[in-house]
Amino acid sequence: MFRSPSVQEILDEAQSQAPSTLQRETLEFLLNDSSPRVRFIKSLPVGSKVLDLGAGEGSMAIFKQWLEPKRPDLSMYALALVKGSHFEMYDGYELKDFDTSESLFPGIQFDAVYTSNFVEHIEGGIDRLSPWAASQLKSGGLLYVEGPSVGMEMLPHTADMIAAGLQVSTMNFFDDLTHRRTETLERTREAIESAGFFIEQSGYWRNRFLEGEALRMGYREGETVLTTLSIWMKYLVEQYVVAVKK
């Protein structure tokens, strides 16, 4: 299932003369509209209180108003080490270290906890995250966890990709020194189930048509996000689980 592609293999595909059928705006719309993380946010029950755990720049708050259905009914809260550029769009936020903070959002019980590319940065990984999320959620509350698969350990190194003319962010898992460890999808599911959740969905974010379009367009335009995302999709880097608290 997972394999280690060469830089040249990726570059050859990026330079392919296959015709592009999508405009940039359409491609970005389709990538976001088909992503499991956006589907999760858009499908939450009306009036849900949502915790964005490890919120980064706070881009998930944008989806309250962007793409259909618009969800102004959601109350969204962010946790991060530093304030992101979109944090004013949240209903509240805390700037704390998850590894060292004992009390986070006191008095709030959430309907949903969303986290993407966060679990690999924290002490204890999914074994710590899962019971913590359960403690923050109401009965019937929903959990979304997305993070790097073991396949990310097999990707070429970031510097080698950039040297070849491929503008990317983190490629090989070990290029980011704040990464602790990867988990298999099976192990992630087991840890979440052990914390009292029922798994509703799990898998890898993959779209063979869109990833090809994104790689060629990203290469032509020197665009980091499109190029990185296309490679992560093709090589099954982004794995996700959707679960409900029993």
pLDDT tens per residue, range 105-141: 888 999 999 999 999 999 999 999 999 999 999 999 9
Return d(Cα 212, Cα 231) in angstroms, integer.
9
Return d(Cα 182, Cα 201) in angstroms, integer.
19
* Rounded mean pLDDT, 156-176: 98
Q: Can you read off the two tokens belonging to residue 233?
A: 């999709």
Return d(Cα 206, Cα 91) in angstroms, integer.
32
Give the pLDDT score at 191. 98
pLDDT tens per residue, range 75-95: 999 999 999 999 999 999 999
Confidence of residue 17 (pLDDT cuts 50, 70, 90): confident
pLDDT tens per residue, range 200-209: 999 999 999 9
pLDDT at 19 over 90: no
Confidence of residue 103 (pLDDT cuts 50, 70, 90): confident
Q: Can you read off the two tokens belonging to residue 145?
A: 């966890």
Confidence of residue 38 (pLDDT cuts 50, 70, 90): very high
Name residue 86's amino acid.
H
pLDDT at 187 over 90: yes
The CA–CA distances, whole Å, from 124 to 182, 189, 195 equal 11, 15, 14
Nearest 5°: phi and psi at 72? -65, -10
Give the pLDDT score at 13. 96
Partner residues linked to 1 by β-bridges: none
Through-space distance between the first and last CA atoms of the chain, rounded to whole angstroms: 32
Give the pLDDT score at 21. 86
Confidence of residue 102 (pLDDT cuts 50, 70, 90): confident
Which runs of consecutive H residues, i.e. helices, occur in the chain?
A: 7-14, 24-34, 36-42, 125-136, 158-163, 185-194, 208-221, 224-234
CA torsion through residues 82, 87, 88, 94, sign: negative
Partner residues linked to 93 by β-bridges: 78
Torsion of CA 27, 33, 34, 37, to 10 degrees: 130
Return d(Cα 31, Cα 214) in angstroms, integer.
9
Give the pLDDT score at 39. 97
* Rounded mean pLDDT, 30-37: 96
SS3 content of the chain, % helix, strand, coil (to 5): 40, 20, 40
